[in-house]
Structure 1
Amino acid sequence: MARILIVDDKKFMRNTLKNILTSDNHVVAGEAKDGKAAVRLYRELRPDLVTMDIIMPEMSGLEAIKIIRAEFPDAKIIMCSAMGQQKMIIEAIEAGAKDFLVKPFDDCRLLEAINRVLK
């Protein structure tokens, strides 16, 4: 059971992720709808893992991951995006993402990635 911060600008996507995570006995520590809120909540909550969208208003997931990883080098972040462009995947991994999932993703693939990253 892990404490997970969900970051996505779409409410339905946050709800979808929440349902998948809670069905696998994980705890949703918090939710953010942009990168700025994600950074603030990460500092407050210190979750075990973050699922982070890339394209968001205010601050992108790529910007947020860079700030979080600079302050917390051991932060575990899985990027989730509808855009599976090679360039973005490489940027996310270089910024410190532990995995990259392309939306819409399979529930099993998400849980597999989470469990692998948490080990």
Structure 2
Amino acid sequence: MKTVMIVDDAGFTRSILRTIIESLGFTVVTEAKSGEEAIMLYRMYRPDLITMDISMPGMDGLAALEKIMEIDQQAKVIICTARGQKDLIVRAISVGAIDYVVKPLQRDRLELSIQKIATRC
């Protein structure tokens, strides 16, 4: 079974993501509320997939993405954020994100992204 870590400072968003991800047959092994926590939990769980918000207190999602990619260049990360500026998308992809989903989350778009990545896991 595929494992997922959800990284978002908003509990409501984590809940929505968990519902969608679990409905696709994946197991959410852990959730993080900050970039620092995401790095620590990534080292512990090594999930097959990460959903990562950008705007979080402390270390943001792009900095956490960079650190996770240093740990594991094969990490599979989907950025899920309300910040849809082109420069952020380009930076996230250049750092190593596989996809970028803009909030408010659209279930069909997120499912497509997860299914696309699942074939690479």
Q: TM-score range by the shorter chain?
A: over 0.9
- Letter aligned with residue 10 of structure 1: A
Query: 2:56 is paired with a residue of what secondary structure?
Result: coil
| In structure 2, distance between residues paired with 1:116 and 1:17 | 16
Q: Which residue identity does 2:95 align to in structure 1?
A: A
Q: 1:7, 1:14 within 8 Å by CA — same for their partners in 2?
A: yes
Spell out the pairing of 1:68-87 with structure 2 (5 A cutoff).
68-87=68-87
Question: How far has the Cα of 1:49 moved from its partner?
Answer: 0.2
SS at match of 1:9: coil
Could you tell me which runs of 5 or more consecutive residues in structure 2 were left unpaired when the two chains were aligned: none
Displacement over 3 Å in runs of 4+: none
The alignment yields a C-alpha RMSD, in angstroms, of 0.8
Does 2:2 match 1:28?
no
1:38-64 deviations in Å (ceiling 9; x for gaps)? 000000000000000001011100000
Question: Paired residue for 1:38?
Answer: 38
- 1:76/1:118 contact within 8 Å kept: no
Paired residue for 1:116?
116
The answer on 1:105 being equivalent to 2:75 is: no
Code of the aligned partner of 1:65? L
Counterpart of 1:78 in structure 2: which amino acid?
I
Runs of 5+ consecutive residues of structure 1 not aligned to the other structure: none
- Give the letter aligned to residue 111 of structure 2: L
* Number of residue-to-residue matches in the alignment: 119
Q: Distance in 2 between matches of 1:104 and 1:44?
A: 30
How far 1:37 sits from its partner (Å)? 0.3
Q: Following TM superposition, by how much is the alpha carbon of 1:71 offset from its aligned partner in structure 2, in angstroms?
A: 1.2
> What is the TM-score with the length of structure 2 in the denominator?
0.95
Q: TM-score, normalised by structure 1?
A: 0.97
